[in-house]
Amino acid sequence: MRKFHVFNTTFIFYVLLIMFTLLNENIRAVIYSRGYKPHEVAVGMTLLLLNFLAMNIGWKIWKFKIPNVVYEAVIILFSFIYFPIGPVIALILLFFYRKGVDVYSKSVPIAFVYSLLIPILAFLVIGVPLFNQSLRFEFSRILGISAYLSTIAITYSNIDRRIKLVYTLMMVAIFFIGTFRSYILWITVAYLLSISKRDVKAKNTIIVGIAGIAILILSGNIEKLLVRIGFTFLTFTNLAVRGIPWGIYHGSLLFSPDPRRLVATFLGGEGRYTYLIFGQPVADFGILGIIESFLIGIMAKESEIREESLNFTISILVYSIDAGIDNRILLAIMGAILSGRVRNEEGSSPILGRIRFNSLPLLGKEELQRSNNANGKLWE
C-alpha cells in the first residue's frame, strides 16, 4: 500500500469528525449559531468529496512526467508574491537545482539548527503563547517556518532513529508551547513516515493516520478541537456556496501572501481562518477547482520519485487537510519534487543535464560504502 493512503486515511478520519460535529446538537449549536442550513452543508460536503476524488484520480492515473521547466516557471511566478526577496531566493534555489544540487538534503544541518533556534528566540523575546493566548497569532508564521524546516530535517536526514525521535519530541514540545496543534500533527506524521517502509501495510497506515489526530486530542480539550474542526468546515462551506459556479477570488487567494487573513476578512471575521485543503481551489475557481485538486494529486504522484520527497509531500498534505492549501505549500512540494529528481537517476531531465545519481536510500550500509568508494561521496 502506497504512502499516499496515509493522506487518504487521515482525510477520511477528519471527515468523520466533521460528521460528528454535524450530528452532535450541542457542538452544532455552537458552530452554527447563526442558523444551520442543511442544503448549504450538503453543497459543502459534496464539493469537498468531489475534490478529494479528483485528487485521488490525479494520483492514481498519472503516468507521465511534468517537465522541470514547468515547475521552475511556477516557482518563479509564485516567488513574485513575496517581491523583492522572493524572486531572489527562487532564482538562487533554481540555480542550484540546475547544477545538480539536492537543495533539501543539503539544507538538513541548517534546518536542524534554525528550526529550534527561531522559535526559542521568539519565546524569549516575544513571550510564550501557552501562557498568553493573545500572542498566538504573532507566532503563526514563526512556527510555520520552524515546522517547514523541521520537516526537512526529519525527512531528509540519515541520523539514528533515537536522535531523530528526541528531536521530534523537542519540536512537538515547541509547537505545544506555541499552541499550534496542526504543527504537532505535521511533524508527527513526518517522523512516522520517515521511519516506515515505502510500502506500508494497511494497519500501519491507519496507525500513522490516527497517531497525529490522537496527539491533537491530547493537546487540548476535545470539545474545543471538534468546534475548531466544525468551524473550519463551516468556513469551507461558505466559500463553496458563494463560489458556485466559477469561484469568488478567481486566483487571488492562490496568489495572496496571507490567504487565511483574506478569507477571514471576506467572511466578516478577524485573524486568520483555516479553510480545509480544498478551500482555496473552490474559493478561487468554483467547480473548476476540481482541476487544481487533480493537479495536486499529480504532484503527489510525482513526489514518489524518491522516498524523502514522498514523505515530505504526504506530511505537508496531511497538515493541509485542516489548514488549507496556499502558494507556500505548493512551492514546498514543487521544491521536494525537484530535489527528488536531482537525486534520482530516473528523474534526470535536459534542464539538469545528463547527471547520474544513485538511489542510495534503498541501499544497506555495506552497499552504501561500496557505492561511495566507487562513485565519490554522493550521500551524506
Contact assessment for residue 139 and residue 180, using Cβ atoms and an 8 Å cutoff: yes
- List, in order, residues 6 or more apart from 161 with CB less than 8 Å away: 195
Cell numbers linked to 275: 479553510
Half-sphere exposure (Cβ direction) of 363: Cα atoms closer than 13 Å: 13
- pLDDT score for 344: 64
pLDDT in tens, 87-113: 999 999 999 999 999 999 999 999 999
Instruction: Output the CA torsion sign for 226, 11, 180, 169.
Output: positive
Residues of the chain with pLDDT under 50: 1, 199-200, 202, 345-380
- pLDDT score for 361: 38
- List, in order, residues 6 or more apart from 70 with CB less than 8 Å away: none
DSSP letter for each residue of 202-239: HHHHHHHHHHHHHHHHHTS-HHHHHHHHHHHHHHHHHH
Contact assessment for residue 235 and residue 263, using Cβ atoms and an 8 Å cutoff: yes
pLDDT in tens, 48-84: 999 999 999 999 998 889 999 999 999 999 999 999 9
- pLDDT score for 270: 82
- pLDDT score for 71: 96
- For residue 174, which amino acid is it? I
Looking at beta carbons, which pairs linking 335-338 to residues 24 or more positions away fall under 8 Å?
335/75, 335/93, 335/103, 335/104, 336/104, 336/303, 336/308, 336/309, 336/312, 337/71, 337/299, 337/302, 337/303, 337/305, 337/309, 337/313, 338/68, 338/71, 338/72, 338/97, 338/103
Could you give the CA distance from residue 3 to residue 187 in angstroms, rounded to a whole number? 16
Contact assessment for residue 126 and residue 135, using Cβ atoms and an 8 Å cutoff: yes
How far CA 379 is from CA of 111, 165, 173, in Å, comes to 17, 22, 31
- pLDDT score for 134: 85
- pLDDT score for 372: 42
